Structure 1
Amino acid sequence: MDGDWPVGEVGDFLRSRRARIQPEEVGLPGHGRRRVPGLRREEVAQLAGVSVDYYVRLEQGRGTSVSDAVLDAIARVLRLDETEQTYLRAVARPGRQRPGRRRPETRRVRPGVQILLDTMERSAAFVLGPRMDVLAWNALGDAVNGFSRLAPAERSMPRQVFLDPAGRDHYPEWHAVAAQTVAHLRVNAGRYADDPELCALVGELSLKSEDFRRLWADHEVRECAYGVKKIRHPVAGLLTLPYETLTIPASPDQTIVVYTPEPGSETAERLALLGSWESSSTR
């Protein structure tokens, strides 16, 4: 996995999307025995208005000059959402230069961003890089996740989820968090396909974690823009943490993640106590 994603990635992705669509859903007869789940390649080609040979070459990674119109037609047939369409373009045309397909530039967080994090005294906040590595945090973010106690290489959300033995205790809903982590990492895999460190991370996780291998093979592609995450903290107990993510316009490779507990909720009270406890312990 050095330097780029495998040529077969586009084929694996399209096959996984074909398997989700039943013939009856697109007006095709579904009776009789079928050799593969979902739609056949011939059926996708017919519905998209392209030749079978052309579609086969695309699945084989030989359609690098495919047009937007053809990819749009295939996306319509396979019912891809916006994130999946963006990913399809990235893996279908790996040699084409385009905005976004580049190596991440830096792991540095601007001082102004750190000041912004530090002003969020009631929220746990941190910055993620394109490899979902943790680049910076505020005091409450550190209190919740313990970033400062980790070696730099271990400050990685995927490594915490899949390689840290304590990960399953930290996240009571571990299976949902694991699937979400992989789906978001795959988004970045398409966006930064030339990043050797990201390729190496996927290789490491695939080698060391059977759960990661299984989820990666599902080819789910999903941004983690917002949601709710549950964390079991050794001091504060169970925390229910709605979160929002904000891309930094001047550093689009970096994303601020902010846990925003409901005002007056039990989690908000526990976070306030945790913040007070952390402040007193550092004096």
Structure 2
Amino acid sequence: MTVSATALPQRAGLGLKPEHYETILANKPDIGFFEVHAENYMGAGGPPHRYLQEIAEHYPLSLHGVGLSIGAARDLDKEHLKRLRALIDRYNPQSFSEHLAWSTHDTGFLNDLLPLPYTAETLARVIDHVDEAQQWIGRKLLLENPSTYLLFAESTIDEVDFLAEIAARTGCGLLLDVNNVMVSAVNHRLDPVAYIDRFPLDLVGEIHLAGYDETVDGAGDRLLIDAHGSAVRTDVVELYRHTLGRIGPLPTLIEWDNDVPDFPTLQAEAQRADAMLAAAIRPGLTRAA
């Protein structure tokens, strides 16, 4: 079966990991979709593409970028954009998303997703970069809310308002990472439910869930780390349930990128999310695919 270029199904998906290629192709598990990181498939060929091509014949794909550096104080990398467009043309994924972050500098690429000050200057730059990226790839992208560990003194715009304005000015959609909401809210002593309630949920095309790590800061207060190395925490699950109650079912990715477990463990996480998605289907909340 070849999947047509429609929206992702309103189900749970998993990140596609090389250690699970063979299991997926042999068993064809009941998973809503698979997500791949764009930068892992920007080579011309080889085993990753051979496996991805076959998997894409059976499952919808969500393409997630980590290297576009939308918020950088420099021009977007044209060669990166060319490779990204070639990858999109090759697989025609149902969704493409990127981060509200930056990872490039004059000295090169930084292996991290770094936060931005929310100012009028930064807003204008991000809007220009989102416009340019969408023109290059020929489709709408989804922009993901970040997990943060500090706040900039120079910020003059609330994060939710910042994201909403980008979407209003560029026509992009939003990716709501519920784990990121929890991480940032705990770290900055904010209310995660209030954040969700203010978020422009009508612009959300996909949701992310993940596990966080926890430590304490220098003052002895809780500090959450967006680690992607464990099951989704209970408080994030409850925040997700609240989100679904506000918006209805949406494609939901389980992110587990570090200390990757066996496939049945991942599938169990997806099944838990699928059960909550099914429970959220009721008149007035179900979105068209």
**TM-score, length-scaled by structure 1:** 0.25
**TM-score, length-scaled by structure 2:** 0.25
- Which structure has greater helix proportion? 1
Higher Cα Rg, which structure: 1
